[in-house]
Structure 1
Amino acid sequence: MAKKTILCLDDERTILTSLKGQLKRNFGSEYGYEFAESPDEALDLIEELVDEDIEILLIVSDWLMPEMKGDEFLIKVHEKFPKIVKVMLTGQADNEAVARAEKEANLYKCLQKPWTEEELITTIRDGISLL
């Protein structure tokens, strides 16, 4: 059976590298991990994973990205895949964007950059436990 997966989206490679290290350190091989540097890349990746019958449990998405804001991305994902748990990671999202994502994408939690590893892992663990 394919591994259940966590997807991380951020336009900064250093953030993705940090997320990857924290996830692997805390969850090891319990989950699969996928990383995307743009919303379009993430949407393509989601379709590929779904086609391969790989379940995406949770998405951690940046908010401020050049092509599309994180709230818009998460709303798009939610429209097609409402069961995926959605977490926004941001240093700059305004309250309206967070409220919109909560209402229209069922946003589970918004973490502020810089986040702590404990905060991230607890959020992911708690979010996945809701499934």
Structure 2
Amino acid sequence: MTKKAILCVDDERIVLTSLRDQIIHNFGRDYLCELAESVEEAWEIIEELNSDEISILVIVSDWLMPDVKGDEFLIRVRERFPNVVTVLLTGQATEEAIERTKQHANLHDYISKPWDESRLVKTLRSGLERIDE
């Protein structure tokens, strides 16, 4: 069983499906790819993976979601799990939100929607390499 995971958080199911398909296509089954349609669901998945001793290596999060914005979520993730690589994937984040995420969540990268698969893969690879250093 895979002991490493990439978590994708977005309130649009079609975005999550695309992310999952692109991650599996480019990384095979090397990483478990988990999907959450809300920040609340993401925390449930994080807790479950943590209790199963599965390391979350990268979290790709949308910014504009109901209840909690992606920058707030990634900052909280960073506080609890400082080694997780964070990526913001959105078409609507403000410059202030991106800067805040860089400063307080150690944002690895920001990708605009619609995204290019090669950019996503490059970002994930560089984030995963950062963990291996």
Distance 1:58 1:120 in 2: 12
Query: C-alpha distance in 1, partners of 2:31/2:3?
Result: 6
Q: Which residues in structure 2 correspond to 1:101-120 (within 5 Å)?
A: 101-120=101-120
Identity, % of aligned positions: 55
Q: Which amino acid aligns with 2:75?
A: I
The CA RMSD measured in Å over matched residues stands at 0.8
User: Match of 1:130, SS?
Assistant: helix
SS at match of 2:11: coil
Contact kept, 8 Å, 2:2 with 2:30, in 1: the verdict is: no
What stretches of structure 1 move > 4 A for 4+ residues in a row? none
Deviation readout 1:36-77 (Å, 9 max, x if unpaired): 000011011101111110000000000000111000000111
Q: C-alpha separation between the residues in 2 aligned to 1:2 and 1:29?
A: 8
Name stretches of at least 5 consecutive residues in structure 1 with no aligned partner: none
Q: Is 1:17 the counterpart of 2:22 in the alignment?
A: no
Aligned residues: 131
TM-score by length of 1: 0.98
Q: Is the 2:78–2:106 contact (alpha carbons within 8 Å) kept by the matching residues of 1?
A: yes
Paired letter, 2:61: S
In the other structure, the counterpart of 2:88 is 88
What TM-score results when the alignment is normalised by the length of structure 2?
0.96
Q: Partner letter of residue 105 of structure 2?
A: A
Contact 1:2 1:53 in 2 (8 A): no
Query: Do 1:56 and 1:84's aligned partners in 2 also have CA atoms closer than 8 Å?
Result: yes
Unaligned runs of 5+ in 2: none
Give the counterpart letter for 1:108 in structure 2: H
- More displaced 10-residue stretch of structure 1: 43-52 or 85-94: 43-52
Alpha-carbon distance in 2 for matches of 1:4, 1:80 = 17
